[in-house]
Amino acid sequence: MPRLAFLGPRATFTEQALRSLPEAEGAELVPCAGSPAVLAAVRDGSVDAGCVPIENTVEGAVPAVLDGLVEDPPLVIVAEALVAVRFDLMVRPGTRVSDIRTVASHTHGIAQTRGWIAANLPDAEVLLSTSTSEAAAQVARREFDAAVASPLAAELHGLDVLSSDVADNTGAVTRFALVSRPGPPPKPTGNDRTTIAATTENRPGTLLGLLTELAVRGIDLTRIESRPIKGRHAEYWFHLDCLGHVDEPAMGEALAALHRRCDRVRFLGSYPRAGNGRPAARSAPSGPLGVSDGFAAAQEWLEGLRAGVTS
């Protein structure tokens, strides 16, 4: 039976995301105290894969996960899931709004409900917990008065919901990544995402050169984030999400070019893009032949030249 770790405890948005993936069917789901613990469990082999939040439509990327993905030994993303995030304010039965002196949640939960809390609980102390579900558990244990968490957490811990949908921005979505030790990537679906991290020399034009390698090959860059390299002043990892798969000619050629140009390139996976936990519809190719078709034709022509065939 596969063992899959997730940011715990039970009833977190991460568990919800993991359960939406086909890999979770028939697997043992193992809660861990924090995303770094999930990645560590994957690295040491105590689990087969782990699910962590990687990006939110309101707060952006999750720094601890980006930093953890570039540590050694390497890890790769093999699947992703999207979860619509809904937050409720929950308390122990009998607690009134006037009784609330402390309210807790995960960092991203607080960030997405900060305005509502300030307007409705102006005198409450806002505190951080390792996850939204753990905040609910701490309320049940009488460590805090209230928590901002998922409706499932209130049900799991026997709490009452005082207010529903307390997020400042409705419609927020979090993207989750299923991470494993390196191996052959999932087969191309025609609608895939490739994630990489790269470092370059700190001199004019180096980042532009990196992006140009993608642009000239028709690679659609959907996200770029910079994170400082620990212990090295003014040096950064650039995290990039691109549309395409490493097995496709255009993407493969772009990755090879980045390997030549950059100080370091960390391949973090090619995997199906998600739409509400399922691969999205296949997108049509662009250009007269399609970007991938054009690169395949060029590669065939080049191989012909090397074999002595000219045209």
Of all residues in the chain, what percent carry a pLDDT higher than 90? 75
Q: Is residue 47's pLDDT more than 50?
A: yes
Q: According to the model, what pLDDT value does residue 307 have? A: 74
User: Does the fold of domain 88-163 match that of domain 1-84+173-183?
Assistant: yes
Q: According to the model, what pLDDT value does residue 300 have? A: 76
Q: According to the model, what pLDDT value does residue 282 have? A: 40
- Between 43-57, 60-74, 193-207, 277-291, the lowest mean confidence (pLDDT) is in 277-291
pLDDT digits (tens, 9 = 90+) for 4-21: 999 988 989 999 999 999
What CATH code is assigned to 88-163?
A: 3.40.190.10
Phi, psi of 298 (to 5 degrees): -65, -40
Specify whether the CB–CB gap between 36 and 45 falls below 8 A.
no
Domain boundaries, given as residue ranges, for the chain:
1-84+173-183, 88-163, 184-311
Q: Is residue 280's pLDDT more than 80?
A: no
Task: Record the pTM.
Answer: 0.83
pLDDT digits (tens, 9 = 90+) for 64-83: 999 999 999 999 999 999 99
Q: According to the model, what pLDDT value does residue 116 have? A: 96
Instruction: Tell me which fold the domain 184-311 belongs to.
Output: Alpha-Beta Plaits (3.30.70)
The whole-number average pLDDT for the span 278-294 is: 46
Q: According to the model, what pLDDT value does residue 290 have? A: 46
The whole-number average pLDDT for the span 174-201 is: 95
CATH H-level superfamily of 1-84+173-183:
Periplasmic binding protein-like II (3.40.190.10)
Q: Is residue 98's pLDDT more than 50?
A: yes
Residue-averaged pLDDT of the chain:
90
pLDDT digits (tens, 9 = 90+) for 129-169: 989 999 999 999 999 999 999 999 999 999 999 999 999 98
Of all residues in the chain, what percent carry a pLDDT higher than 70? 91
For residue 97, what pLDDT band results from cuts at 50, 70 and 90? very high
- Between 102-111, 194-203, 288-297, the lowest mean confidence (pLDDT) is in 288-297
